[in-house]
Amino acid sequence: MNVVVIGSGPAGVMAAIRSAELGAQTALVTRGAFGGMAANDGPVPVRTLAYAARLMRDARQLERYGVTVSSPRLDYERLLERVRQVVAEVRDHSSLRHEIDRLGVRVHEHAGTARFGDAHTIEAGSGLRLPADRVVLCPGGASRRLGVPGSELAATHSDAWSLREVPRSLLVVGAGMTGLQVATVFHAFGARVQLVQSGPRILAAEDPEVSAAVAETLRAMGIEVREGIGTIGSLEKTAGGVRVHVSKDGVRDALEAALVVTTIGWVAETTGLDLAAAGVETDARGFVQVDDYLQTSAPHVFAAGDVLGRALIVPPALHDGYVAATNAVQGRALRRESSPDPIGSFTDPEYAHVGIREDQAPAGAFVVGRVHFGETTRTLIDGRTTGFCKIMAERGSGVQVAAVAMAGGLRVDQLARVPLSYPTYAGILARAAYRAAREIDPTLNVLEHRDSG
């Protein structure tokens, strides 16, 4: 059996590995470099830049701890060189790449845009032609652009990570996970940053308490956060950069910056694939439609990763790649499982959640344990006391929502008893679990004064 996997992000790489493990002759076709967006302009370079930003902020705090140094200065070109080194190391030396090579997967890098020549043939711009008994689509996603006049004047998040210099001022349109990453990184590098959101709050997909805490912290850092700005009407070029025209309730306003970056969501990267030639259907937004076995409307075509428009993060992409390839080779053998995927961001401050949000929970069905970071030893030592940890537990069962505990079916009182190193940030989980457990059973015999944080 010949299996062709399109895309080399986490879903595509896992699909290729699984297909080859099951004995299929497997080819992996990728438009650019191996690793896809995750390795080349996603989590890997972003996390590297975010680490540099954290170092800059920490360096400015050294005098509080009696360390006297000159003010930190950023050599942005050297930082970009470091980013390129890290990306290359991950791409060429990761365990997944070694597994791909060990299993004999034929990798076609820089092949250009892949497409269906017919239902069972994959072609690419390089003249490549591959027969395919089965196809696993993992082309990923791309930044959605504003559909207004002048939208070409705005950069996307991918453009932001490849800038040759730090802009004097930056206007980030869209305050979700990616927008906050762009805003906090370049603020640390010295740019004057405005972060704007058309809706009523930043991080609209997060717990409202998280949104409020992060917004307050960003403002205290010096980032101008504007929520509820209304509708963007157009962009125009100015002598100093770009002007963005907005309106709300009939009132017009204009925002300006040297560079505008839009982070307003994702679209499926299916342009040029000619899905119709294989009978693959998409939804109204362009995302590929699949069933619980990740099989598309074409029986021989499966799909995984961002092209599905689900949780656009690495863990479910890896899982989906495994499931899709298993079913492509073995038939409908494995159903996609719904798991509590952890979601967070490489921002400063960082935030994360797993499982249901408090505002989504049925009234009275859950108890909440909440601990502020300022109550724990490690955060006091590090001078990072902003924020909180919140754990929700089912009132009846005591099952809580930290990812590992959820996967293991751990009760909240059991999590409260887990011995953790002291002093660590993770200790706050045990404290929050204890408080939630006491809401269920006030007689719980766990000493709260045992300092796990």
Distance between CA atoms of residues 16 and 135, nearest Å: 10
Q: What is the pLDDT of residue 93?
A: 77
Is the CB of residue 108 less than 8 Å from the CB of residue 30?
yes
Is the CB of residue 258 less than 8 Å from the CB of residue 135?
no
Distance between CA atoms of residues 392 and 394, nearest Å: 7
Q: How confident is the model at residue 388 (pLDDT cuts 50, 70, 90)?
A: confident
Residue for token pair 């059991």? 414
β-pairing, 121-124 vs 114-118, is antiparallel
Q: What is the CATH number of domain 151-264?
A: 3.50.50.60
Q: Is 306 annotated as a binding residue?
A: yes
Higher pLDDT, 390 or 396: 390
Structure tokens at 95: 């365990």
| Percent of the chain residues past pLDDT 90, beyond the cut | 59
Domains of the chain, residue spans: 2-142+267-330, 151-264, 354-440
Q: What is the pLDDT of residue 419?
A: 56
Structure tokens at 328: 């492509």
Name the CATH superfamily housing domain 354-440: FAD/NAD-linked reductase, C-terminal dimerisation domain (3.30.390.30)
Distance between CA atoms of residues 249 and 174, nearest Å: 20
What does the pLDDT average to over 420-424? 55
Is it the case that residue 398 has pLDDT exceeding 60?
no
Distance between CA atoms of residues 171 and 235, nearest Å: 12
Q: How confident is the model at residue 364 (pLDDT cuts 50, 70, 90)?
A: confident
Is it the case that residue 128 has pLDDT exceeding 80?
yes
The number of angstroms, rounded, from the C-alpha of 102 to the middle of its chain's C-alpha atoms is 29
Q: Which of 141, 144, 114 is nearest to 128 (CA)?
A: 114
Distance between CA atoms of residues 302 and 269, nearest Å: 15
- The yes or no reply on domain 2-142+267-330 and CATH 3.50.50.60 is yes
What does the pLDDT average to over 273-285? 95
Q: Is 320 annotated as a binding residue?
A: no
Is it the case that residue 67 has pLDDT exceeding 70?
yes
Higher pLDDT, 346 or 31: 31
pLDDT in tens, 197-222: 999 999 999 999 999 999 999 999 99
User: Could you tell me which residues come within 8 angstroms of residue 272 by beta carbon, excluding any fewer than 6 positions away?
Assistant: 113, 115
Is it the case that residue 271 has pLDDT exceeding 70?
yes
Is the CB of residue 208 less than 8 Å from the CB of residue 201?
yes
What does the pLDDT average to over 292-307? 98
301: amino acid identity, one letter: V
pLDDT in tens, 238-266: 999 999 999 999 999 999 999 999 999 98
Q: What is the pLDDT of residue 450?
A: 46
Distance between CA atoms of residues 274 and 133, nearest Å: 17
The torsion region of residue 398 among left (phi > 0), alpha (psi -120 to 50) and beta comes to left
Is there a shared CATH topology between the 151-264 domain and the 354-440 domain?
no
Q: What is the pLDDT of residue 451?
A: 47
Q: What is the pLDDT of residue 405?
A: 57
Is it the case that residue 445 has pLDDT exceeding 90?
no
Higher pLDDT, 75 or 411: 75
pLDDT in tens, 87-126: 888 877 778 888 999 999 999 999 999 999 999 999 998 7
The overall average pLDDT reported for the chain is 88
pLDDT in tens, 9-30: 999 999 999 999 999 999 999 9
How many residues make up the chain in this entry? 453
pLDDT in tens, 365-384: 888 888 888 888 888 888 88
Is it the case that residue 39 has pLDDT exceeding 80?
no
Q: How confident is the model at residue 33 (pLDDT cuts 50, 70, 90)?
A: confident
Q: What is the pLDDT of residue 99?
A: 93
Structure tokens at 237: 């070029």
Higher pLDDT, 91 or 57: 57
β-pairing, 241-248 vs 251-257, is antiparallel
Structure tokens at 36: 């896809």
Q: How confident is the model at residue 304 (pLDDT cuts 50, 70, 90)?
A: very high
Taking residue 372's Cβ as centre, other Cβ atoms within 10 Å add up to 17
Q: What is the pLDDT of residue 345?
A: 81
Q: What is the pLDDT of residue 358?
A: 87
